[in-house]
Amino acid sequence: MIDLAAELNSASEKVNRFLNECLATGKPEELYEAARHIVSAGGKRLRPFIVIESCRLVGGDPERAVPMAAAVELVHNFTLVHDDIMDQDDKRRGVPTVHVQYGISMAINAGDMLFAKAYQAALESQPKGLSSKKTLQALETLTKAILRICEGQAMDMDFVKRETVGEDEYIEMIGLKTAVLLEASAIVGATVGGGSNREIHRLGRAMMAAGLAFQLVDDVLGLTADEAVLGKPVGSDIREGKKTLIVAHGLGHMGKRQKDILLRGLGNKAAETGEIEAAINALRSSGSINYTARKADLYARKARRELDGFPASETRSLLLALIDYVVARDR
Amino acid sequence: MIDLAAELNSASEKVNRFLNECLATGKPEELYEAARHIVSAGGKRLRPFIVIESCRLVGGDPERAVPMAAAVELVHNFTLVHDDIMDQDDKRRGVPTVHVQYGISMAINAGDMLFAKAYQAALESQPKGLSSKKTLQALETLTKAILRICEGQAMDMDFVKRETVGEDEYIEMIGLKTAVLLEASAIVGATVGGGSNREIHRLGRAMMAAGLAFQLVDDVLGLTADEAVLGKPVGSDIREGKKTLIVAHGLGHMGKRQKDILLRGLGNKAAETGEIEAAINALRSSGSINYTARKADLYARKARRELDGFPASETRSLLLALIDYVVARDR
Q: List for chain B the helix, strand, coil content (%; round to 5).
A: 75, 0, 25
State residue A30's pLDDT score: 96
At residue A6, what is the residue type? A
The whole-angstrom separation of Cα B113 and Cα B23 is 10
Confidence of residue A279 (pLDDT cuts 50, 70, 90): very high
Task: Determine contact: B123 vs chain A, CB below 8 A.
Answer: yes
Q: Given CA atoms B240, B245, B246, B247 in this order, what sign does their dihedral have?
A: positive
SS3 A91: strand
Q: Are B238 and B280 in contact (CB under 8 A)?
A: yes
pLDDT in tens, A284-312: 999 999 999 999 999 999 999 999 999 99
Predicted pLDDT at A199 = 98
- Does A136 sit within 8 Å of B123, measured CB to CB? yes
Q: Burial-class residue A13 by CB neighbours within 10 Å (0-12, 13-18, 19+).
A: exposed
Chain A (67-96) residues lying within 8 Å, Cβ to Cβ, of chain B: 78-79, 82, 85-86
The chain B residue lying nearest A85, using CA atoms, is: B105
Q: Which residues of B touch A124 (CB under 8 A)?
A: none
CA triplet A173, A178, A179: central angle to 5 degrees? 95
Q: Which amino acid is at A317?
A: S
d(CA A166, CA A149): 20
Q: Which helix (H) or strand (E) holds B238?
A: helix B236-239
pLDDT at B233: 85
Chain B residue numbers with beta carbons less than 8 Å from the beta carbon of A123 are 136, 139-140, 143
Q: Residue A82: is its pLDDT beyond 90? A: yes
- Do the beta carbons of residue A77 and residue A43 sit within 8 Å? yes
State residue B228's pLDDT score. 83
SS3 content of chain A, % helix, strand, coil (to 5): 75, 0, 20
pLDDT digits (tens, 9 = 90+) for A124-142: 999 899 999 999 999 999 9
Q: Is the dihedral of CA B197, B199, B204, B206 positive or negative?
A: positive
Residues of B in contact with A162 (CB under 8 A): none
Model confidence at B208, pLDDT cuts 50, 70, 90, reads very high
Reported for B265-272, long-range contacts at CB under 8 A and 24+ positions apart, including other chains, are: B265/B235, B265/B238, B265/B239, B266/B238, B266/B241, B267/B160, B267/B239, B267/B240, B267/B241, B268/B239, B268/B241, B269/B239, B269/B240, B271/B238, B271/B239
- In chain B the first and final C-alpha atoms are separated, in Å, by 24
C-alpha A237/C-alpha A97 separation (Å) is 16
Q: At what angle do helices B104-123 and A132-161 cross, to 10 degrees?
A: 160
DSSP single-letter state for residue A255: -
User: Model's pTM, two decimal places?
Assistant: 0.96
Strand B91-92 and strand A95-96: the pairing is unpaired
Question: Among A171-185, A206-220, A273-287, B223-237, which stretch is predicted with the lowest mean pLDDT?
Answer: B223-237
Confidence check: pLDDT of A331 > 80: no
Radius of gyration of chain A (CA): 20
DSSP code per residue over B96-139: E-HHHHH-HHHHHHHHHHHHHHHHHHHHTTTTTT--HHHHHHHH
Flag if B143 and A116 touch (Cβ within 8 Å). yes
Which residues are bridge partners to B92 per DSSP?
B95
Q: Mutation test of the interface with chain A: which of B109, B148, B172, choosing the one with the most A Cβ atoms within 10 A?
A: B109
- Whether residue A231 is predicted with pLDDT greater than 90 in this model: the reply is no
Contact B65, B16 (CB under 8 A): no
Contact residues, chain B, for A127 at CB < 8 Å:
none
A130 touching B (Cβ < 8 Å) = no
- Contacting residues of A for B33, CB less than 8 Å apart: none
Mean pLDDT, rounded, for B49-61: 98
The whole-angstrom separation of Cα B318 and Cα B315 is: 5
For residue A25, pLDDT over 90 is answered with no
What integer is the mean pLDDT of A112-124?
98
Check: CB of residue B54 under 8 Å from CB of residue B129: no
* Element at B46 (helix H, strand E): helix B46-57
Q: What is the pLDDT of residues B22-33, one digit of tens each?
A: 999 889 999 999
